[in-house]
Amino acid sequence: MSRLRRYGRPSPIAVAVSGGQDSLLALALAREQAVQEKRECVAVHGRFLPPTGVSIEREEEMARICKELKVQFLVADLVDTFYKRVIQPFVNEYLNGRTPNPCAHCNPVIKLGALLEYARIEVGADFLATGHYANTKWTKHGPALYRGKDPAKDQSYFLSLLKWNQLEKALFPLGELHKSQVPDELAKRGLTPPAPEESQEICFIPDDDYCAFLERTALKHHLELPGPGPVFLADGSLLGKHQGLWRYTLGQRRGLGIAHSEPLYVLEKDVETNALIVGSAQYTHRKGCTARQVNILVQPKHWPETVLAQTRYRQKAKPATAEYDRKRKELQISFLEPQGLPAPGQVAAIYDDTGRVLAAGVISA
Domains of the chain by start residue, with CATH: 2-207 (3.40.50.620), 226-283 (2.30.30.280), 285-363 (2.40.30.10)
**Predicted local confidence at residue 7, as pLDDT:** 43
pLDDT classification of 53: cutoffs 50, 70, 90? very high
Average pLDDT for residues 202-216, to the nearest whole number? 88
In the chain, the amino acid numbered 40 is E
pLDDT digit string, tens, across residues 266-277: 999 999 999 999
Average pLDDT for residues 232-241, to the nearest whole number? 92
Helix axes of 53-69 and 21-36: crossing angle, nearest 10 degrees: 20
Residue 106 has pLDDT above 80, yes or no: yes
Question: Cα separation of 163 and 206, whole Å?
Answer: 30
pLDDT classification of 6: cutoffs 50, 70, 90? very low
Question: 292 Cβ partners below 8 Å, 6+ apart?
Answer: 329, 330, 331, 361, 362, 364
**Predicted local confidence at residue 223, as pLDDT:** 87
| Three-class SS state of 216 | helix
**Predicted local confidence at residue 261, as pLDDT:** 83
pLDDT classification of 8: cutoffs 50, 70, 90? very low
**Predicted local confidence at residue 352, as pLDDT:** 97
> Is 198 buried (19+), middle (13-18) or exposed (0-12) by CB count in 10 A?
exposed
**Predicted local confidence at residue 128, as pLDDT:** 97
Average pLDDT for residues 13-38, to the nearest whole number? 94
In the chain, the amino acid numbered 268 is E
- Buried-state track 114-143, b at ≥16 Cβ within 10 A, e below 16: bbbebbbeebebbbbbbbbbbbbeeeeeeb
pLDDT classification of 284: cutoffs 50, 70, 90? very high
pLDDT digit string, tens, across residues 153-178: 999 999 999 999 999 999 999 999 99
Residue 197 has pLDDT above 80, yes or no: no
**Predicted local confidence at residue 5, as pLDDT:** 44
How much is the mean pLDDT over the chain? 92
Residue 88 has pLDDT above 90, yes or no: yes
Question: Cα separation of 135 and 192, whole Å?
Answer: 25
| Three-class SS state of 119 | helix
Contact 345, 100 (CB under 8 A): yes
Residue 19 has pLDDT above 70, yes or no: yes
Question: CB neighbours (10 Å) of residue 162?
Answer: 27
pLDDT classification of 314: cutoffs 50, 70, 90? confident
Note if 106 is an active site residue.
yes
Q: Which of 103, 106, 211, 289 is catalytic?
A: 106
Average pLDDT for residues 237-252, to the nearest whole number? 92
Contact 266, 248 (CB under 8 A): yes
Residue 2 has pLDDT above 50, yes or no: no
Residue 61 has pLDDT above 70, yes or no: yes
For residue 28, the surrounding DSSP H or E stretch is: helix 21-36
Average pLDDT for residues 128-152, to the nearest whole number? 94
For 208, what's the count of Cα atoms within 13 Å in the CB-facing half-sphere?
Answer: 5
Average pLDDT for residues 314-329, to the nearest whole number? 94
Question: 17 Cβ partners below 8 Å, 6+ apart?
Answer: 23, 24, 26, 27, 43, 44, 45, 62, 66
